[in-house]
Structure 1
Amino acid sequence: MTDETLALFGGQPIRTQPWPRWPQPTQDTYDAVADVLGSTRWAVSGPYDGRVCYERQFAHAFAAFHEVPYCTPTTSGTASLTIALQALGVGRGDEVLVPGLTWVACASAVVHLGAVPVLVDCDPHTLAMSVDRAREALTPRTAAIMVVHPYCSVADLDAFVALAEQAGVPLVEDCAQAHGARWRNRPVGTFGAAGCFSMQQAKLLTSGEGGAVVTADESVHQRLEQLRSDGRLFMAGPQVGQLELREVGGVLGRNLCLSELQAAVLLTGLRRLAADNERRHERACQLTEALRDCEGVSALPADPRVTTRTYYNFVLRLRPEAFAGNTVDAVARALSAELGTSVNPVYPPLNRHRLYRPDRLPRGEMSEKDIKRLDPAQYELAVCEEARRTCMTFTHPVLLAGKDGVDDIVAAIRKVHGQSAGLLRAPQEPSTQAI
């Protein structure tokens, strides 16, 4: 007889075998890392050894992957956002439109430039920034629009490109969760003035930490290169044993350079990215179809303009009333226990995210007036709040499993639904751990 006791309460979990590991290094990853370790160059600031460094190899490959001429690798996704905004002229007192439902780095990157993030509510279908709310949020101080392509969605790029042109401000795309996604068969990250990527541990393309900015604008690229390497640029015709970076000083930069070890890992991962994305997409389609027979849950709808859909997270929308009124937090914890993997609600809206604390800035960095403008509590983000109340996410490695992974997820959802009345005795409040 099947044990219907929830695993959260000591019952037999639905899945007992492990999910695919992530990251997934292959032999070419080990070979590339060993090549770096055996060389005399571990960083772009090291001496030229007679061959194209891995950082430049990755930059060229990532630019080609996105069908643009330029890419600047960075230490992190946050660094990529920061230098992109700087290269586009965003500075003290400016405003940048930022989605209300995203990771805190999108807002904090703006704050640390002395600018003000203006939090914008999301679209209920995609969870990306709403173009209508963005249009309402424009002011004479708006210096840029930052759109994020979240989870498994793409923001309405047709509408945002038009809005940015109408407003006369640059569009910055945060593609940290959308490596390889395409809109109308064109890579995301190439519609705005700059496309920013994160290569953090959990991302679809990862080197543990890392980032990159892609652009088609040569002048923007020249500023990006200097901003991330203390004002230096790669020289033509370097001599073996000499430094390859020349001092230019066109801008005041910082050291935000990707290491050779990270670049080697990314270069090998990039070769597998399209195939991995196709595997995830196949499983996501199977899961979406299977969920049609599950009461009270649904997947986010597909937009036909997204010609290649990628899945950093698979988002499941819950009707709490169909689960006996349990919160999405309780249901997510129950599913985590059944499946042996992390299932979480979406991000808390930035107007109440515990990590977004612009009031903790050292006094003196901004005027009192601008500090008041930073207060996130002034924003109403009703759709973001509804998403936090009803949406939960499965991490992308579950989509790298076989069909058994789909079957287990569906079985776990049905089990939790069937035992939802008993689940009411479990904690219903959000976890104290930030997500």
Structure 2
Amino acid sequence: MTETLALTGGHPVTHRAWPQWPRPQQEADERLARTLASGRWALSGEWKGARSNEQDFAEQFAQYNDARHCVPTANGTSALVIALEALGVGAGDEVLIPGLTWVASASAVLNVNAVPVLVDIDPETLCIDPTAIEAAITPRTRAISVVHLYCSMADMDRITAIGRRHGLPILEDCAQAHGARWNGRRAGTLGSIGTFSMQQTKLLTAGEGGAAITDDPELADRLFQLRADGRRLATGPLAPRDMELVDNSSVMGNNYCLSEFGAALLIDQLGTLDAEHERRAGNAALLTRNLEEIPGVRPIRPAAAVTQPTYYHYAIRLDLEEFAGKPLLAVCRALRAELGYPVQPSYAPLNHNPLYRPHTKRRYHLSDEHMKRIDPGSYKLPEAQRAHEEVLTLHHPFLLADEEVVADVAHAVAKVRTLASRIPD
């Protein structure tokens, strides 16, 4: 009997129930209930005689990352904004960012009145290409923002060397790399500041949240003030109903504080993060071996220096000639039907990304010259574009399933390749 694609009425490879994400841990209800009853729902609330969840999480996350300081934030974008401001980036400065990334990498730069310079990617890792970084540096360049993407990390050895050579700070965007290690060092500790997102889909999540980490006490002080309307923590004894945040400012800030409920969830999630990493990495390694046996299928492998990989997305590059020349989006639809699980192309490159449209916001129109400098259409990003046309991704929760998931995914990819000529365009 001839096999038929699920997309055209055949039986799918699996009807499995995929793992839920996020996954609340056992103590989450108790911790949230204590927070609810405490009368303190934010760092800016009255002191109740005990440390805030926010401070507890900051201490624990700094320790987890082998960093000296952590400043929690409301989300990953605000972490990027305060990191850029702490590094002195401002009006007219250029910040190099990868052309293949989530839109917040660019919008955060715009939000400090600076210019995002889009840099092409390394096709092997999908992260920013160090050679392209070097070529993009100008006298206006003020910082290099790297993004550790999907399951890999940017080449931090080469990039930090470039930063030292040109006197440029490195900002690590680790929104997809909580706990990853480069030659034994945690992501976020190799540059001047590391930022994280704890949004709903992330490996460590509170629904919304973020953090910035650094070893530099002066940067940490600036980061704290920048996210707390310029306030600092009180240094003297406190009595109940005192405010723990006091008006002792050296820099003007904004309110980007994490809520006590978000911090409570993050403390809960942090305790299981490494065990989840281990399970995802084990399934990913087995899946990679199976997929590499299929002609035209090449999983994206972390660089050799990534001594602890993390998997926000599992990414696969396809030779579409082996899939009857069908467009990637059509192949993704066919795989989704086989698995009952989302399968999608990698991000659209920022020079053609529908979410990145600076001209639609009047706040960015500082001058006609500035608008020309921030025009994403002025960049050519051939490797980022090729990745968008050839690389598909699966979000990380599937890697928390049992080992049979590996057989299901590999079977689905092999089936779709064999029957690719029957995929509707």
Q: Deviations over 1:135-191 (max 9, x none)?
A: 000000001000000000000000111111111111000000000100010101001
Matches within 5 A, 1:295-310: 295-310=295-310
Q: Deviations over 1:228-281 (max 9, x none)?
A: 111111113322221111112211111110000000000110111010000000
Partner residue of 2:26?
A: 27
| Distance in 2, Cα, partners of 1:340 & 1:29 | 29
| Distance in 1, Cα, partners of 2:402 & 2:30 | 28
SS in 2 for 1:102: coil
Shift of 1:29: 1.3
Residues 45-54 or 277-286, more deviating: 45-54
- Aligned AA for 2:202? K
Residues 236-245 or 272-281, more deviating: 236-245
| Distance in 1, Cα, partners of 2:351 & 2:54 | 37
**Aligned: 1:317 with 2:317:** yes
**Aligned: 1:36 with 2:32:** no
**Aligned: 1:228 with 2:241:** no
- Aligned AA for 2:410? V
SS in 2 for 1:146: strand
Shift of 1:363: 5.9
Q: Deviations over 1:181-213 (max 9, x none)?
A: 000101010011100000000000000011000
Partner residue of 2:417?
A: 417
**Aligned: 1:212 with 2:222:** no
Contact 1:114–1:365 (Cα < 8 Å) also in 2? no
Change (3 A) 1:234 1:363: closer
Partner residue of 1:170?
A: 169
Percent of matched pairs sharing the same residue: 48
Contact 1:75–1:256 (Cα < 8 Å) also in 2? yes
SS in 1 for 2:304: coil
- Aligned AA for 2:370? D
Shift of 1:127: 0.4
Partner residue of 1:271?
A: 271
- Aligned AA for 1:100? G
Change (3 A) 1:108 1:353: same
**Aligned: 1:189 with 2:151:** no
Q: Deviations over 1:36-56 (max 9, x none)?
A: 111111110111111111000
Q: Which runs of 5+ in 2 are unaligned?
A: none
The root-mean-square deviation of aligned C-alpha atoms, in Å, is 1.1
SS in 1 for 2:27: helix
| Distance in 2, Cα, partners of 1:381 & 1:15 | 37
Contact 2:119–2:128 (Cα < 8 Å) also in 1? yes
Contact 1:48–1:244 (Cα < 8 Å) also in 2? yes
Partner residue of 2:371?
A: 371
Q: Deviations over 1:378-406 (max 9, x none)?
A: 11101111111110101100100001111
Matches within 5 A, 1:313-352: 313-352=313-352
Contact 2:151–2:301 (Cα < 8 Å) also in 1? no
| Distance in 1, Cα, partners of 2:248 & 2:83 | 19
SS in 2 for 1:96: strand
- Aligned AA for 1:89? G
- Aligned AA for 2:197? S
Q: Deviations over 1:349-387 (max 9, x none)?
A: 000001101112216741111111111111110111111
SS in 2 for 1:27: coil
SS in 1 for 2:362: coil
- Aligned AA for 1:183? W
| Distance in 2, Cα, partners of 1:278 & 1:62 | 19
Change (3 A) 1:68 1:290: same
Shift of 1:296: 1.3
- Aligned AA for 1:418? T
| Distance in 2, Cα, partners of 1:290 & 1:371 | 48
Matches within 5 A, 1:352-371: 352-362=352-362, 365-371=365-371
SS in 2 for 1:38: helix
Residues 25-34 or 111-120, more deviating: 25-34
SS in 2 for 1:179: coil
Q: Deviations over 1:267-300 (max 9, x none)?
A: 1101110100000000000001111221211111
**Please, what TM-score do these two structures have when normalized by structure 2?**
0.98
| Distance in 1, Cα, partners of 2:67 & 2:363 | 41
Partner residue of 2:82?
A: 83
Change (3 A) 1:209 1:364: closer
Q: Which runs of 5+ in 1 are unaligned?
A: 428-435
Partner residue of 2:141?
A: 142
| Distance in 2, Cα, partners of 1:245 & 1:104 | 32
**Please, what TM-score do these two structures have when normalized by structure 1?**
0.96
Q: Deviations over 1:67-102 (max 9, x none)?
A: 111001001100000000001100000000010000
**Aligned: 1:117 with 2:116:** yes
Partner residue of 1:50?
A: 49
- Aligned AA for 2:245? L
| Distance in 2, Cα, partners of 1:302 & 1:376 | 28
- Aligned AA for 1:246? V
| Distance in 2, Cα, partners of 1:154 & 1:414 | 28
| Distance in 2, Cα, partners of 1:157 & 1:170 | 12
Matches within 5 A, 1:54-65: 54-65=53-64
- Aligned AA for 1:330? A
Residues 377-386 or 296-305, more deviating: 296-305
- Aligned AA for 1:159? R
Partner residue of 2:240?
A: 240
Partner residue of 1:431?
A: none
| Distance in 2, Cα, partners of 1:399 & 1:4 | 27
| Distance in 2, Cα, partners of 1:26 & 1:363 | 42
| Distance in 2, Cα, partners of 1:113 & 1:27 | 40
- Aligned AA for 2:58? A
